[in-house]
Structure 1
Amino acid sequence: MSAAYLKKNGDGTGHLMLGKVILRDLRWEKKPQHKKHQRKGWRHSLEMQRLREIEDIIRHRFNGPVPDPEGTDDRETCLDFVRVAALSLVPGQDMAMWCRVFAPWVTEADLLPITVEASKRRRMMRADGAAGLLHLTMTERLALKLKTIGAVDMKKAARTKFMKNRKREMDRKRDEQKRRAAGAKDRASFVAQSISAAKPWEALNMSRRTWYRKGKPEVGTSPSRVEVIGKCEAPVPPATGTVEAPHSMPVPSSSAARVARGEGLGDHPPAGLQGAEPHGSGALPDVSVEQRRNAA
């Protein structure tokens, strides 16, 4: 009995074989290794880009090739598509082959004068001239993202300024979307929620500068202007209840020295003279008022 073996092909694929029977197809397990094509010497062709844009206009307007104008008076208008394509002056372009795809109704008699005209030119038709033959508007130009064909309703100078402003606006919107995604607020919301719009200093009847200097006080009872509470600035006690002297009232250093010497604070007699008799010769005699008058 023969053993299974792997049969490899030149493109990188293979089969698991048992004699002449394929047990397993390894075509999808290992992709063929293609050599990467390098476009050496490739150069962008403005003429080829013009031709591709003409093809985009034809597909956009007719959803296929240019319709046969037989029996209508639009033959020259339809031939303008072939004329603009021929005047693109694409090197090596066979216009007969191109017409078979995009204008199959064109005859050799129609194509001959167009190719003769193109052979006499050294440069392709200008952007505004091509737009005039194709009746291309700025709206259609923007929709198809055309670059090498102008617009019949906007000259080159105005078109350049318009495109510059349009790019600036698109860049601004893209940057704004990035800022919104990062959590930034728009200008209108920021101004509506700002202090300048709220003006809390007007509710406190003060100027903006004073409001900032006082530490941005909130609307309500204004803070006391007294910073140090002295003896005469003790808080007023309530109407009912027991009056208690403040425990945190400071005592001046000179008063503390007088208390230590027993001299008192000045509003009470000294500690050693408490209960002493008043100064004088003694108690006054009990004399009535009439006796004093008679004596006088």
Structure 2
Amino acid sequence: MKRKTSLIMVLMLLSMIIPTYSFADHHGLLIDGSPSGGFVEMHAGKNLIPVAYVARAANANIMWNSAERKTTIMYEGDEIVLTIGQMNAMVNGMSVALDHAPVILNGRTMVSEMFIKDIMGFEITMEGMSLNVIIPKALPDIVDTAVGAGSFNTLAAALEAADLIGALKGEGPFTVFAPTDEAFAKLPEGTVENLLKPENKDMLVDILTYHVVAGEVTSADVVNLSSATMLNGDDVSIKVENGGVMVNDANVIAVDIMASNGVIHVIDTVILPPN
């Protein structure tokens, strides 16, 4: 009888020391609507997600340190360190509180929805019996955004002729006041064809860089400006009239088209630098 009592006491002590998890319920894990092969486990009213599947889909580098029981995720320049059983994550050296400590299940680090949404920045929706983790796609750069819009074909051709595509695909940020194809068509007949000739490259570069500001200037910023210095070194005038914005003699007809390296505002007239 004494031995039986001692065994019960040992089991009770172990239950206090070793955390137990009841993963009775689980459902599928979708990544951008496609089955990932992983499962979401339910514990204490929270959905726990195997972070390895999400990291892999996001092209993040994930590493496991078994000695320290730490999972490190490198994603878009951020270092995120999770320690199993601790209620915080280290994000670029700063501690961020978690609503559920990471745990290991079936050899994988499991994290809560809060971690996936608030720290990694991904959206989560419920679809039937599966959680769907939606990973935002990276914005295209300014050049690809303009080309994809389909209304800046002349601008794209001019950028190529001026050898400016590489520059506008750079880190930036840049603000481009982009003339539409119709804006280029308003120039005197033969002007565009003449500018695209190799011997007129310097003139074309001057005109195109007169449409670009170094830095990101959104519409909220533009309305507070009276002028701006463009990439070619010349200034443009900026006026707010009748609820609209004019850059020199061009009307801004669409604003805040965001790109990975800046922003595009659409104008209806090609603006020409001062002689």
Q: Which TM-score band applies after superposition, normalised by the shorter structure? A: under 0.3
**Structure 1 or 2: more strand by fraction:** 2
**Structure 1 or 2: more helix by fraction:** 1
Larger RCO (CA under 8 A, 6+ residues apart): 2
What TM-score does the superposition give when structure 1 sets the normalisation length?
Answer: 0.18
Structure whose alpha-carbon radius of gyration is higher: 1
